[in-house]
Amino acid sequence: MGPRIVDAGGGGDIGLEPMAVGWGGLVGTIGLAASAAAPLWVRALAIIGAFLIGGFLAGVRTLDHRALNAAAAWVFGWLLWAAICLVLAIVAGFGGPTDPEFAPGSDGASLLIAAASLLAAAVGGLAADRRYSTRRIRRRY
């Protein structure tokens, strides 16, 4: 399905597909950006929902290692949001509009939302694995 990231130590194929990780992470970042000015509970739901969809899309885009690609999409989504926040902080430093808050709520709430969004991304990847798996299902008749 495209270029794959290979372990340089000779251990073989890691199974990450950059396109799958990119699409899933982009959807998660959209959830982070779209909810930047919302109340905490709305932001939490938007972030978790976006990473659930992003994890599913990352899983759909790859043939195997779907949960791993979904988790990598979660990492990429937060890193992309950090880069956006950094650029917006620089713009705010030069007199532009105020920059958005990187993580929602207090430190504890931010960690909880980040953990829940990672879980949601993994669930999305596993749902894609269950839906699009090529493994044969044994029927009991």
DSSP string, 24-77: HHHHHHHHHHHTTTS-HHHHHHHHHHHHHHHHHHHHHH-SS-HHHHHHHHHHHH
Taking only the tens place, the pLDDT of each residue in 38-81 is 899 999 999 999 999 999 999 998 877 888 999 999 999 999 99
This prediction has a pTM of 0.81
Distances (CA, A) of 56 to 52, 61, 81, 91: 6, 9, 19, 34
The closest alpha carbon to 73, from 111, 23, 39, belongs to: 23
Mean pLDDT score, 131-135: 75
Q: What is the reported pLDDT for 15?
A: 77
Written as six digits, the tokens of 139 are 């029927």
- Longest CA–CA span in the chain (Å) reads 71
pLDDT digits (tens, 9 = 90+) for 69-118: 999 999 999 999 999 989 988 998 898 888 777 777 777 888 999 999 99
- What pLDDT sits at residue 69? 93
Q: So where are the chain's domains?
A: 6-132
- End-to-end, the C-alpha distance of the chain in Å comes to 36
